């Protein structure tokens, strides 16, 4: 199982728009991606409700995990997304 630990850069943490962008990207990988805050249990990273329920704030660490072909590449992309201030990125 591939894992990455990332500090969340978005000013509002994983709430609203940043959570939406992250969960959409996690679902698009086609892999079973999970996300966990601290020592808490991992949740489905493609579920916006579960991700928002983690209550991840700006500057907190999360661990994302995935298994399967392309897991490392998928997690690299998701980690980069979490390390970006998604509040500052203008919608296309």
Q: Which residues are catalytic?
A: 15
Q: At what angle do helices 17-28 and 71-82 cross, to 10 degrees?
A: 170
């Amino acid at each position: 199982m591939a894992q990455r630990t990332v500090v969340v850069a978005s000013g509002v943490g994983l709430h609203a728009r940043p959570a939406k962008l992250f969960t959409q990207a996690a679902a698009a990988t086609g892999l079973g991606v999970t996300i966990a805050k601290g020592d808490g249990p991992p949740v489905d990273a493609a579920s916006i409700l579960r991700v928002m329920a983690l209550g991840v704030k700006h500057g907190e660490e999360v661990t994302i995990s995935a298994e399967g072909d392309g897991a490392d590449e998928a997690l690299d992309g998701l980690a980069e997304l979490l390390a970006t201030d998604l509040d500052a990125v203008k919608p296309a």
